[in-house]
Every structure is written in structure tokens, then in C-alpha cells.
Amino acid sequence: MFLFMTHPINWFEYDHPSQKQKKKKTEKKDRIDKTWVSVILIPMKPKDTIDAFDAYLTKRGLEIDAVVIGGAALGLLGVVSRQTRDCDILHPSIAPAIAEAAREFASLRRASGDPLDDDWLNNGPSSLADVLPAAWTERLQLAYQGVAITLRSLGRLDLLRSKLFALCDRGLDLDDCVA
């Protein structure tokens, strides 16, 4: 039996087919012995997705040069090898043509069975730039260089600071902070 987290507080049970015969009524006190599985969809491998998007943008004559943070940055830098839900762009604001291309790209990927969200490329954490230490732009490091895409990431300490903010906000980023 797996217990799925749909919200940090709400959990629901899922019986794997091999466990259905063994199912017994679960009481809250027994849940500590169960396997916990997060329901948060983790659909993309950063390097593979960015490589494919780079080819997509190249064919359309579009380019992006940006600062990436979060799980995508950690994956592109080789710090972690896990998948992530999205690609968070800290700076600059994503140009409308790039945003539209990202949505079209996601739609094409979904048509081929990849569960990539329309907002997989986003400026969600852009307000973080206001609270990073001064001169953070001087500590950027190259995370990805393609034909149409150049992505830089925060320096190691600034990236850790951004993940600590995320940990405090969502409570899901401890492994990234340790990495």
C-alpha cells in the first residue's frame, strides 16, 4: 500500500495491485509504517528537455539567454540527477515569443506521451532576485549552452540560499539543500 501526499497535510491511500488481496483497514496510527509517495508530478529531465527545446527554438530562429534556478539548475549543473517539474527562470522575464514557443513545445511533448505542463518554463521565482545578496549577477555560472539557449545559474551559495527559501516556503527541498 502506498500513501500519496496531495498536500503537505492531506494524504490518501493507494493499493498497488499486488497489495489488494492483503488490504486491511488502515488506521492513522498505522500510517507511520507505510510507504509515502508524493503525488507531485515530476515529468522532466532537465538536460533532455532543454536539449529538445533548444532544437525546437533553433528551428524557429528564437533565442533565450537567462538565469535558471531550482531543480532544473541543479540538474543542468550535475548536482542532482533527479527529474523536476519545471524550469524556473529568475531573470529576465521570459519574452512572449519564447513563452508561446514553450507552450507549443509542451503541447507537442504531451501529444507524444510526455506529461510536460504548459508552464514548464516560467518566471515563478523572479521575486527572489529582490532578496538575493548584492552582486549575485557577478557570481553566475554557466549551466547550459546550446545553439538557441544559454542558461546560467546562481553561484553555489546563492543557489543554496534560493533552495533554502524554497524549503521554508514549500518544505520539499531539503535533499536539494544537502546536495
Q: Determine contact, residues 154/135, Cβ cutoff 8 Å.
A: no
Q: What residue spans define the domains of the chain? A: 2-38, 46-178
pLDDT, position 164: 58
Alpha carbon separation from 83 to 19, 40, 128 (Å, rounded): 27, 11, 22
Among 14-18, 58-62, 130-134, 158-162, name the one with the lowest average pLDDT.
Answer: 14-18
What is the per-residue pLDDT across 126-167, written as a single tens digit (0 to 9) for each? Answer: 888 888 878 989 999 999 999 999 999 988 777 776 665 554
pLDDT, position 37: 40
What is the per-residue pLDDT across 78-126, written as a single tens digit (0 to 9) for each? Answer: 876 677 788 999 999 999 999 999 999 999 999 999 889 999 999 987 8
Whether omega for the bond prior to residue 17 falls within 30 degrees of 0, making it cis, is no
**8 Cβ neighbours under 8 A, 6+ residues apart:** 171
